[in-house]
Chains A and B, each alone.
Chain A
Amino acid sequence: MSTQPDLLYTEEEEALRAAVRDLLADHCDAAGLIARTESDAPHDVAAWKALTEGMGLAGLLIPEELDGQGATHREAAVVLEELGRWAAPVPFLTSAVVATEALLECGADDLLSQLATGTVVGALCVSLHTAPGASFPTARVEDGVLRGELTGIADAAFADLLLVPGDDGGLYALSAGSATIVPQTSLDLTRPVARVVLDGAAGARRLGDAAPAVHRALRAGAGLLASEQLGLADWALTETVRYLKERKQFNRPVGGFQALKHRLAELWLEVVGLRAAARNAADALTTGDDTDVAVAVAQACAGPVAVRAAEEALQLHGGIGMTWEHPAHLHLKRAKADSIAYGTAGAHREALAELVDLRAP
């Protein structure tokens, strides 16, 4: 830790937040979100278009000379906070962060230019539950064609470009059209996973070594996922507080009962902690200072906090929270899936045991 991390939001970051929030307010109403999850197209194409073509957000992490914005992980984190608030079904994390980081590591400039516009959506074909540094299944590389089946690939059904790790240690790019993508019935309705079946897919291009590209991609994914989880937890807290001020039982607002006030105050405290940890991870990814520890701390904290926030929201909304029509379940499902995504809190604690020298017996 050479310098102190900047844990605040800059004015530009706040302006970006406001713009994204306005845009999502126009696109992501609860009823529309829920209806979309039951359609054949769970992703919100219109919202994605507005975020990418309208605001250029797909290229945030891509240098300007490759048609990107040349922004930092700090800005991407702010975008994710807002997306998390809505559990928005757009592939920002999977394409504009994870796939983008893998391509940056490989120096695949032409593909980065395509991703920057948002018209091409990328997906790294490593199961969503994989922690940075963990092993992952690969496709067989036989005479230049890819074979095999990779499961748990987030947002694959919406992707145009697949990045596939091969059993020869390479990372391959191929168009989604040359693979069969089978949606898996997913716990998280707004970030569904899919099976990618490669049956001798030809036209795959070797971009570079898979290990460093996947590691970099998953580390950035894990670190910035904490900001999505922060946004989600903040939504759960805010909505629950709002509801408990309105809802009356026993001739009083339910939010006046001390048992509930204390629960919400405890939750607030956890969200405040997550904000500091998520900001720290975003800043560390930006500066490259102390990044492994900052990401592991953020992920060891974020999963449990977001899940608890979503669970508390459900419980404290009472019966309405248990219904399909109320959006609380979308957030609970996202929070629970997020707690597995890019490594569980436990996996990140194990990583910390090595990083900060608190080794197992």
Chain B
Amino acid sequence: MTDAEELRSRTREFLAAHPPATTDRLDFLRARFDAGLAWVHFPEGLGGLGASRTLQAVVDAELQAAGAPDNDPRRIGIGLGMAAPTVLRYGTEEQKRRYLRPLWTGEEVWCQLFSEPGAGSDLAALGTRAVREGDTWVVNGQKVWTSSAHVARWAILIARTDPDVPKHRGITYFICDMTDPGVEVRPLRQITGEAEFNEVFLTDVRIPDDRRLGEIGDGWRVAQTTLMNERVSIGGMRIPREGGMIGPISATWRERPELRTHDAHQRLLKLWVEAEVVRLTGERLRQQLAVGQPGPEGSGMKLAFARLNQEISGLEVELLGEEGLLYDDWTMRRPELVDFTGREAGYRYLRSKGNSIEGGTSEVLLNIVAERVLGLPAEPRTDKDVAWKDLAR
């Protein structure tokens, strides 16, 4: 319905009415949302125009050229990438109107309360309990690996509402108020020295039933929307040659010939080729998405990036020789943004160890590829027909 030309002129009209130079940043962002130019593939009235997702680039280019402020998407990645599509798909009209606008403008940061100490790869085994008391749910449990929890206003939460049925069936999906007095956020320090993540302890947290997303007991299905969108957003990025981890080590190689050895040269060239091949794979995936033919390649991209990041950063530390014995800074910090390549080689090496664990371990992803892409038999299951309360733990 909306084509690129129409969208371009619409964006220009908007810019004329709200000149970026003289408009307050937040006012600008709110107005942009109300004009349907936030995410054009969302419905009208919810920041979009019901247009094709690929047309967003037209809007973004116009806004960028005009020097318009953006919503700092990296700061609110969980809200944009995971919470928003789930609220859109499963939320009531009231919920969509309440949450999506401040989510998109960045006025309200979101975090994700999914993983638990006892439920990592087997997320559906989670044990955080939600018990209904009238129109309210009372939640108790512990969540972990929660980025942005210390700055978040809201969380997407999955909790066990029925322990007497098999694990996938007794889960319900909620929106949790992170300012509730029962929510305690503690930094979780990692091997890098900093605390990018948190532990979140939930003690008698009270969630009104109108903050439930989807049906009672249907939370696992709702969560699939969240997790699927996490993967889509990974595939959408376009990376230039030598973007990512291969960039810094290539620069070091060029600038510091005294570090070069024959062994490192062989390994660097191999990794450079692998990085370029993975980049091209991502580009191919992006092109498939753009013509509406998403390929199964997406499932493999994270596997490839994890391995590559780990190998490249490992070589980089070694290449640095005496400097590789040093580390930039062990100070405990709580960064708001995660930048895998922003710090020095030692940090990159340690941080990239998490790449094969976070967002699905490489071992689980290999199973997913084998079963969903190659159609090989599923793992034998002993938990399918067992009530959650009777599972081994």
Which residues 369-393 of B sit at the A interface, judged by CB distance below 8 A?
A: 369-371, 373-380
- Interface residues on chain A, number (Cβ under 8 Å): 43
Taking a contact as CB atoms under 8 Å apart, the answer to whether A276 and B283 are in contact is: yes
Residue of B277, B287, B367 touching A273 (CB-CB under 8 A): B277
B374 with A276: CB separation less than 8 A? no
Contacts of B373 in A (CB 8 A): 265, 268
Q: Which one of B269, B371, B377 contacts A358 once the chains associate, using CB atoms below 8 Å?
A: B269
Which residue of A is nearest B300, CB measured? A269
Q: Is A253 an interface residue (CB 8 A)?
A: yes
A241 adjacent to B366 (CB under 8 Å): no
- How many residues of B are in contact with the other chain, CB < 8 A? 45
B284 with A358: CB separation less than 8 A: no
Contact among A244, A269, A272, A360 for B376, CB-based, below 8 A: A244
Interface code A255-268, partner B: CB below 8 Å = 1, 0 otherwise? 11010111011101
User: Which residues 291-308 of A sit at the B interface, judged by CB distance below 8 A?
Assistant: 297, 300-301
Structural contact, B254 and A8, CB atoms closer than 8 A: no
- Secondary structure class of chain B's binding surface, majority of residues: helix
In-complex Cβ contact of A255 among B253, B274, B363, B377 (8 A): B377
A352 within 8 A of B: yes
Are A266 and B366 closer than 8 Å at their CB atoms?
yes
Chain B residues in 8 Å Cβ range of A326: none
B270 within 8 A of A: yes
In the complex, the answer to whether A272 meets B300 with C-beta atoms within 8 Å is yes
Please give, as numbers and ranges, the residues of chain B lying within 8 Å of A129 by CB-CB distance.
none
A273 to B274 CA separation, bound complex (whole angstroms): 9
Told that A8-B287, A253-B376 touch, could you supply 13 new A-B pairs with CB distance under 8 A?
A: A4-B283, A255-B376, A256-B379, A258-B367, A262-B367, A265-B374, A269-B300, A279-B284, A280-B280, A300-B269, A300-B273, A358-B272, A361-B262
A-B contact pairs, 19 of them (CB 8 A): A7-B284, A8-B291, A255-B377, A256-B376, A256-B380, A261-B367, A264-B370, A265-B365, A268-B300, A269-B303, A273-B304, A275-B284, A276-B280, A277-B276, A277-B277, A301-B277, A352-B269, A358-B268, A360-B265
Residues of B at under 8 Å CB distance from A?
Answer: 241, 250, 253-254, 257, 260-262, 265-266, 268-270, 272-274, 276-278, 280-281, 283-284, 287-288, 291, 297, 300, 303-304, 363, 365-367, 369-371, 373-380
**Chain A residues near B (Cβ < 8 Å):** 1, 4-8, 241, 244-245, 252-253, 255-256, 258, 260-262, 264-266, 268-269, 272-277, 279-280, 297, 300-301, 349-350, 352-353, 356-361
